[in-house]
């Protein structure tokens, strides 16, 4: 007991005493050593911040984005408290940004060969880019260049808003640097023999696989170059050209970027909470028409196996879509399809559940269903669009058709694997072979070879693949105006800033709102045509 107390006191002393130069050169040299592991956990905290927030899902996704994108139908608008979700997304980002700035500061202070830090710096830049793209795509201009630096000086306590265009182009340059400086060789050393610094076990996104980090960086470059190509083709097109013509490594099948509870040792309790407490989302007619060739309630018209993974039958065991644009008098949908009592009484969805809900297991599982960041299917669809439109490469309908077909197949396989790997999924639909999957791509409503609306087909399938990424479908709908849709065009282009920003950063917030004229959903973000 005495020996344990001495060790405990020594550890506390080392952790609480400021580091000095004398006698502690080795401790200060590399903070990834067990003697000082503060940067590793900080990095892990940033990775963990990629998880979706509870209120973000409830208010921004379920209450707003699923209806806007028409990936599902909102059967009643009950809560309308979007600010709660916006506050969570906003505050989560800026907490992570402060951690990222601190990691960057400590890397700058490390006493080692600069090149040996390239991999670690690249990983931080990639996470910063992904998180910042997500926030700025939702809100438009945001505080960025001076944000997250409050620990450096009080001058940064209330950062100014930066133009989304400037943020985008800075992040694209950072991603290019990251992809170009990552050394993918295991156990790599610099030319002088210095080992590359690694986050080791604290990288629970790719587990230290630097080639996957490089692929992720390039995939983000492709995604966001395509997003800005309508607004600034002179800037975006060379990026697309570099990636495709130079065959830069991209995310492939089986390498999908995911937040996986089982692999990362966390429980995803938020997704089921957001559905069961909200309880207003059902399958809509827009997505149903992309999964089935008829309205037969027995499901005889279903040609896409993702229908069985995304949705399920109503309480009467019938496939029934809620009208995307309901007529007055359309009966509402009630019931209890998302309540956990179905763990033991699966068929009890409630008599008033008259429309098809989301598949219970897809939103009930807490360990095996991942949160999706970027799929190999999306990469195929991005490449298909580039080839079809001649963006950065010569127009090539054959290449576009091939990439599109591979994208559909990759999406079906991905979602089939999600179902297969879910331990609690009791009534799994039949598993399709590769041949049967490619047969789906030949269905008249899917095949790109037999349509003169090839671009619409590409957008539709990318929209469908993003079923659990409504923020990505939202971006695609705003950029193209060509995603599956019933009724008038989308007129919602961003989320208003959360009230806390007006309260805590009032001068800069007021200047930003004055620049925009109004802080509303009608104001387009920079890259929107």
Residue 181, domain CATH: 1.25.40.390
Task: Tell me the Ramachandran region of residue 20: left when phi exceeds 0, alpha when psi lies from -120 to 50, beta otherwise.
Answer: beta
Q: Do 305 and 412 contact (CB within 8 A), yes or no?
A: yes
Domain count, the chain: 1
Beta bridge partner(s), residue 284: 322
Residue 87 belongs to some domain of the structure: yes
**pLDDT value at position 151?**
83
pTM over cut 0.85: yes
Residue 19 belongs to some domain of the structure: no
- pLDDT < 50 regions, the chain: 1-37
Residue 450 belongs to some domain of the structure: yes
Give the domain range for residue 450: 37-269+368-487+498-516
Q: For the chain, how big is the Rg over CA atoms in Å?
A: 24
Q: Do 354 and 333 contact (CB within 8 A), yes or no?
A: yes
Rounded Cα–Cα distance for residues 360 and 84 (Å): 25
| Residues ≥6 apart with Cβ < 8 Å to 511 | 160, 161
Residue 103 burial (10 A CB sphere; 0-12, 13-18, 19+) = buried
Q: Do 401 and 454 contact (CB within 8 A), yes or no?
A: yes
Rounded Cα–Cα distance for residues 334 and 75 (Å): 9
pLDDT in tens, 444-477: 999 999 999 999 999 999 999 999 999 999 999 9
First CA to last CA across the chain, in angstroms? 69
DSSP 4: H
Q: Which of 384, 396, 424 is nearest to 261 (CA)?
A: 424
Residue 186 belongs to some domain of the structure: yes
Residue 234 belongs to some domain of the structure: yes
**pLDDT value at position 79?**
67
Residue 122 belongs to some domain of the structure: yes
**pLDDT value at position 30?**
45
Give the 3-state secondary structure of 92-111.
Answer: HHHHHHHHHHHHHHHHHHCC
Between 210-228 and 164-181, two packed helices, what is the crossing angle to 10 degrees? Answer: 150
Give the 3-state secondary structure of 59-97.
Answer: HHHHHHHHHHHCCCEECCCCCCCHHHHHHHHHHHHHHHH
**pLDDT value at position 235?**
98
**pLDDT value at position 464?**
98
Residue 12 belongs to some domain of the structure: no
Residue 409 belongs to some domain of the structure: yes
């Amino acid at each position: 007991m005495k020996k344990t107390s001495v060790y405990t006191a020594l550890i506390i002393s080392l952790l609480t005493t400021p580091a000095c130069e004398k006698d502690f050169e080795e401790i200060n040299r590399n903070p990834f050593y067990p003697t000082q592991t503060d940067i590793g956990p900080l990095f892990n905290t940033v990775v963990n911040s990629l998880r979706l927030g509870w209120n973000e899902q409830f208010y921004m996704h379920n209450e707003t984005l699923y209806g806007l994108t028409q990936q599902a139908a909102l059967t009643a608008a009950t809560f309308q408290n979007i600010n709660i979700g916006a506050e969570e997304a906003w505050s989560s980002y800026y907490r992570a940004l402060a951690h990222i700035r601190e990691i960057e500061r400590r890397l700058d202070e490390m006493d080692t060969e600069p090149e040996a830090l390239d991999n670690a710096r690249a990983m931080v830049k990639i996470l910063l880019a992904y998180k910042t793209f997500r926030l700025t795509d939702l809100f438009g201009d945001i505080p960025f260049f001076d944000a997250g630096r409050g620990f450096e000086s009080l001058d940064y306590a209330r950062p100014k808003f930066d133009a989304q265009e400037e943020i985008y182009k800075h992040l694209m340059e950072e991603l290019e640097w990251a992809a170009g400086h990552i050394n993918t060789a295991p156990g790599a050393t610099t030319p002088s023999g210095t080992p590359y610094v690694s986050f080791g076990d604290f990288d629970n996104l790719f587990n230290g696989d630097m080639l996957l980090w490089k692929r992720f960086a390039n995939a983000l470059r492709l995604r966001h170059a395509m997003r800005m190509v309508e607004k600034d083709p002179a800037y975006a097109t060379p990026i697309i050209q570099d990636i495709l013509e130079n065959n830069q490594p991209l995310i492939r099948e089986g390498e999908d970027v995911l937040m996986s509870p089982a692999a990362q040792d966390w429980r995803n309790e938020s997704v089921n909470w957001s559905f069961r407490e909200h309880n207003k989302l059902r399958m809509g007619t827009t997505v149903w028409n992309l999964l089935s060739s008829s309205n037969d309630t027995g499901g005889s018209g279903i040609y896409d196996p993702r229908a069985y993974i995304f949705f399920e039958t109503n309480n009467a065991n019938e496939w029934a879509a809620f009208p995307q644009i309901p007529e007055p008098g359309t009966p509402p949908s009630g019931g209890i399809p998302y309540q956990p009592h179905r763990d033991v009484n699966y068929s009890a969805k409630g008599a008033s559940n008259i429309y098809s809900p989301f598949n219970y297991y897809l939103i009930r599982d807490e360990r095996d269903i991942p949160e999706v960041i970027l799929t190999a299917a999306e990469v195929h669809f991005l490449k298909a669009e580039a080839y079809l439109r001649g963006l950065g490469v010569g127009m090539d309908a054959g290449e576009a058709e091939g990439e599109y077909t591979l994208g559909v197949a990759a999406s079906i396989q991905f979602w089939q694997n999600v179902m297969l790997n879910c331990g609690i999924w009791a009534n799994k639909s039949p598993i399709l072979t590769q041949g049967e999957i490619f047969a789906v791509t030949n269905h008249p409503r899917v095949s790109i070879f037999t349509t003169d609306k090839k671009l619409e087909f590409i957008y539709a399938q990318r929209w469908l693949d993003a079923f659990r990424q409504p923020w990505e479908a939202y971006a695609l709908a705003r950029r193209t105006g060509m995603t599956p849709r019933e009724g008038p065009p989308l007129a919602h282009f961003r989320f208003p800033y959360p009230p806390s920003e007006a309260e805590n950063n009032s001068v800069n917030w007021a200047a930003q709102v004055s620049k925009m004229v109004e802080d509303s959903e009608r104001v387009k973000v920079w890259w929107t045509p």
